[in-house]
Amino acid sequence: MPAIIAKLVYQGGEVLKTFDELMLAETSEHEFKEALEIRKARNWLKTVSAFANGAGGTIYFGIADDRSVRGLDGIHTVAEKASELIKARINPQVAFHLTAEKIEDKDVLVLAVTSGESPPYFYQGDGSIVAYVRFGNESIPADATRLRELALKAKNLSFDSLSSGYRSETTAFTVFAANYRRVTDLVFTPKDLISFGMCSPDGILTNAGLLFADDCPMLQARVFCTRWNGLDKSSGSDEAIDDKEFEGDLITQLRNSHEFIRMNSKVRWRKMSDHRVNKPDYADRAVFEALANALMHRDYAVSGSEVHVDMYDDRLEIYSPGGMPDGTLVQERDIDDIPSNRRNPVIAEVFHRLEFVERRGSGLKKICTETSLLYGYTDDFAPRFRSTQSAFHVVLKNMNYAYSDTETHVVKDVVIDVAMENEIRLGRLLDELRVDGAATAQALAERLQVTARTIQRDTEELKKTGKIRRVGGNRFGHWEVLD
């Protein structure tokens, strides 16, 4: 089969692919039709609607589902009819490009649809008006949540930028202010609420502002964490070893969820000939990144659904409401080539300001990279990402489970001594101080489940070894991590 070049124009750019590459292309962005149906035009016009409402895509007329080239007769007439039907039955008008290609000496019509700037785009015909979205290799009717999201996109708005109805003077931002000062060394002021997109000039908080407020009243803004006994949710009479529900501001939810995973994980070590190798169950930074992404990109417009963290003997699963913002399936995408597409841009910007995440849309890649650095890593331990139309799942595998006895799941050749426990505790304290350097000794003690006296002793040890320093007085100052 010759390497015919087809020019695709969508997503505002130009992409060149060989025909052989197209035959292996992901079906979420490409669709193949043996002929241009006129009497049953809905069969392909719904895909035009879905591509315009999503990331764009291309339909190839004259190629069957099995990728065999059938060709078209009177291709110019076919192109004119396709253009006529699109303009008559898709509302508002979509941007598209039609080209005729020769493949195996047969005429093929290439219809490239651009991601639209004024969604939702509806198919009108057969007595119905329906907006479609892409779900894997199918074009399905958009549900109410997706329609609302598309309508906001048309106005260059997002759920987190909408008014919450709460006035800023009725809420407090002590947790946010402490973290902001730790990162920037600046005092947080009410004017910052406006500049960050957390509040309107007339003093009404946006949904993002409400989510960062102390004691956030948004019911769906919660995280449910559970450490299950075994490999699933029904492994015995004592199914849950530990469970917690976290609510309030997003920073507290992020910090507490992260701590829950730490407390239910282990850091083992293996004695080598001349040194000792630490073997944590999970890469701590990968865990933090996955949690931050779940809170940052979840669909807060969906009530009655929360972020869930489920820990099993062999894995950690994080679920968040809302699929990929552009409607694609993450399992069909190249993790290294997913552009930054933020469902909640205000929350994402605030997380970046607080140095929780980067701006470049590299979260999933970072999760993979951090995990790959762990001792004993193989491709079998690679993180798994899966999305549906309404949910996003991250699965991190327990790096120590592979070394476990099949009966007891207890590592035989690894023992943690007192010195190692102290080293681990000091490391976790450093991580806490990076996130919240203004936290009190009592607050830190509760998070690490030790006494306040232990925290005082450990901070003195870290100070003596030059790993932290005190900025300001005991009452209003904060700890700064020097590494």
Tell me, rounded to whole angstroms, the distance of Cα 337 from its chain centroid.
14
Evaluate if residue 239 carries a pLDDT over 50: yes
d(CA 308, CA 420): 31
Looking at residues 221-234, what average pLDDT do you find? 91
Q: Which strands form 307-311's sheet, in the order they lie side by side?
A: 240-246, 223-228, 307-311, 315-321, 391-397, 384-387
Q: What share of the chain is helix, strand, coil (3-state, %, to 5)?
A: 35, 25, 40
Q: Which of 167, 168, 133 has the alpha carbon at shortest distance from 153?
A: 133
Give the C-alpha distances (Å, rounded to integers) separating 355 from 207, 292, 435: 21, 11, 9
Looking at per-residue pLDDT, the higher value among 15 and 477 belongs to 477
Most distant pair of Cα atoms in the chain: their distance: 85
Q: Which residue has the higher pLDDT, 78 or 29?
A: 78
> Per-residue pLDDT averaged across 462-471, rounded?
90
The residue among 334 and 397 whose pLDDT is bigger is 397
- Which pLDDT band holds residue 3 (cuts at 50, 70, 90)? very low
Q: Which residue has the tokens 């699963």?
A: 317
Q: Which residues of 79-93 are buried (b: 16+ CB within 10 A; e: fewer)?
A: beebeebbeebbeee
Q: What pLDDT band is residue 477 in, cutting at 50, 70 and 90?
A: confident
* Pairing status of strand 204-206 against strand 96-103: unpaired
CA gap 65, 297 in Å, rounded: 34
Average pLDDT, stretch 231-256? 86
Check residue 201 and give its pLDDT.
95
Which amino acid, one-letter code, is at 319? Y
CATH node for 5-143: 3.30.950.30
Minimum mean pLDDT range among 45-49, 116-120, 284-288, 443-447? 443-447
Dist CA 42 CA 326 (whole Å): 22
Residue whose C-alpha is closest to residue 147's, from 129, 162, 164, 165: 129
pLDDT exceeds cutoff 70 at 396: yes
pLDDT band for position 153 (50/70/90)?
Answer: confident
- Whether residue 351 has pLDDT greater than 90: yes
- The CA–CA distances, whole Å, from 183 to 227, 430, 436 equal 32, 15, 9
Domain 223-412 belongs to what topology? Heat Shock Protein 90 (3.30.565)
pLDDT score of 450 more than 70: yes
Domain ranges of the chain: 5-143, 159-212, 223-412, 417-483
Residues in a beta bridge with 31:
59
Q: Per the structure block, which two tokens stand in for 234?
A: 């029904």
For the segment 284-343, what is each residue's pLDDT rounded down to a tens digit? 999 999 999 999 999 998 878 899 999 999 999 999 999 888 778 889 888 887 877 789
Cβ pair 443, 456 in contact under 8 A: no
Q: Which of 287, 253, 296, 249 is nearest to 267 (CA)?
A: 287
Considering the chain, what percentage of its residues have pLDDT values greater than 90?
55
Cβ atoms within 10 Å of 206's Cβ, excluding its own: 25
pLDDT per residue as tens digits for the range 162-213: 999 999 999 999 999 999 998 999 999 989 999 999 999 999 999 999 999 9
pTM, 2 dp: 0.73
pLDDT band at 439 (very low <50, low <70, confident <90, very high): confident
Residue 238 predicted with pLDDT over 70: no
- Angular region, 197: left φ>0, alpha ψ -120 to 50, beta rest: left
User: What's the CA dihedral at 96, 102, 106, 108 to 10 degrees?
Assistant: -10
Residue 97 has pLDDT above 90, yes or no: yes
CB 445 within 8 A of CB 438: no
Give the separation between CA 67 and CA 58, rounded to whole angstroms.
14
Give residue-wise pLDDT tens across range 34-86: 999 999 999 999 999 999 998 899 999 999 988 889 999 999 999 999 999 99
**Least reliable range by pLDDT among 18-27, 77-86, 348-357:** 18-27
SS (H, E, C) 129-198: EEEEEEECCEEEECCHHHHHHHHHHHCCCCHHHCEEEEEHHHCCCHHHHHHHHHHHCCCCCHHHHHHCCC
The fold of the 417-483 domain, in CATH, is: Arc Repressor Mutant, subunit A (1.10.10)
| pLDDT-derived band at 473, boundaries 50, 70, 90 | confident
